[in-house]
Amino acid sequence: MTTDFVMAPQPAVTLAVEGSPARFPTNRIFCIGRNYAAHAVEMGHDPNREPPFFFLKPVSALATDGIFPFPAGVGEVHHEVELVVALGSGGKDIALEAAMHCVFGYGIGLDMTLRDVQAEAKKLGRPWDVAKGFDGSAPCGAIVPATRIGHPTKGEVSLSIDGMERQRGNLDQMIWKVPEMIAALSRSFQLNAGDLIMTGTPAGVGPVKPGDHLWAQIEGVGNLTVRVE
């Protein structure tokens, strides 16, 4: 028996999968904050290992066409280049040793941030949702299956704008590692296939403007080109 709906459900938001005609159906986007010490310092925080904290973006924030639609009139809009972990399975209260079995593959994403809106929210003790989850705030490239590249734990992460390097770091500088993030999230959420985790950004975040060409690269994963329109 097919389910009847009172209106058409929203279509799945999907990502390309490198080397496959099939697509990756997304579920949620979890993001970790301050996961590289040098970025925590540049944002005015203690670089020591404080408990991890997370926020979410809706999957409607994904931009998969290589274009970031610039939101005008809301102050500075910052780039944050991040390794994206794509889950192929999930669970609740996942043990650290079992966490990597959940990973389907990896991608490159940008956690685009309305920095002035976020700063105001921080000051007033308000949520970050609008600063982090607005339409187009998660440009993301194809998911590369772990069966092709393994599980990268070191490798350069960088972002350039029009050929000028802005961000550089290394995956091995993550404060909380991928299995630790999965285990931590699974204490609060039943993780599922299709969930994405944006794993934090290295130092060097800064503003973008219309016309910029962003070029992100993660050694061992690939690269991503995004034009700001």
Told to check if 80 binds Mn ion by CB under 5 A, we report yes
Binding mask 26-45 for Mn ion (x = CB under 5 A): --------------------
Rounded CA separation 109/29 (Å): 11
Positions in 177-216 near Mn ion (CB under 5 A): 201
How many residues at the interface with Mn ion, by CB under 5 A? 3
Rounded CA separation 157/49 (Å): 21
Minimum Å distance from CB 84 to Mn ion? 11
Minimum Å distance from CB 20 to Mn ion? 27
Amino acid identity of residue 103, one-letter, is: V
Query: What are 204's two structure tokens?
Result: 């060097």
Positions in 97-116 near Mn ion (CB under 5 A): 111
- Of 33 and 145, nearer to Mn ion (C-beta) is 33
Told to check if 159 binds Mn ion by CB under 5 A, we report no
- Of 80 and 195, nearer to Mn ion (C-beta) is 80
- Of 145 and 202, nearer to Mn ion (C-beta) is 202
Told to check if 217 binds Mn ion by CB under 5 A, we report no
Minimum Å distance from CB 75 to Mn ion? 17
Minimum Å distance from CB 132 to Mn ion? 8
Minimum Å distance from CB 169 to Mn ion? 12
Residue whose CB is nearest to Mn ion in the complex, by number: 111
Residues engaged in binding Mn ion (CB under 5 A): 80, 111, 201
